[in-house]
Amino acid sequence: MILKFFKKNFYIYLFFVFLIFIFDRLSKIYVINESLKNLDNFIFKSTYLNIRLIWNEGIAFGLFSFDDKVLYHSISLLILFIILVIIYMIVKSDGFKKFSLMLILGGALGNFYDRIVYGAVPDYIDFHVNGFHWFIFNIADIFISIGVFALIILEIFDNKNNEKN
């Protein structure tokens, strides 16, 4: 099974995940460099969108941020384990499910890279309306969210098809 996966379309899948990773890296490098040039974490401000660099030491959308390095490294190991499980699931799946998992993998690798290199993930997209700010996030988070949403939709439709049969 694994040998078959590596022979058929492996380089296309690898390129797709790599493309997501590179797109995420380039956007983060740009925002970090602009922040350093401006000596300010605000790069762009508008009525509904700010580009504002923050360093997220927690998990998704800044949740569970903390100063304890042991806990931080433990969560990083857990994330690495989850990435390995996602890779296994990609090998075992096909079609739209495989595509959704590759979106998640590309984003997860981007954020994991930052956790290892910087000790935190740079988040910078800040949507807000009338003083209400959504969690600040990055391009990798967008790909992860789209992939998870697609898996949820796929699961709902698969369950409806199974109920009909």
Cα separation of 107 and 97, whole Å? 16
Q: Which of 94, 123, 126, 158 is catalytic?
A: 123
Check if 141 is active-site: yes
Query: How many residues can be counted in the chain?
Result: 165
Cα separation of 56 and 123, whole Å? 7
Q: Which of 24, 114, 126, 141 is catalytic?
A: 141
DSSP state of 137: B
**Closest among 20, 23, 142, 149 to 96, alpha carbons compared:** 149
Check if 68 is active-site: no
Residues recognised as catalytic: 123, 141
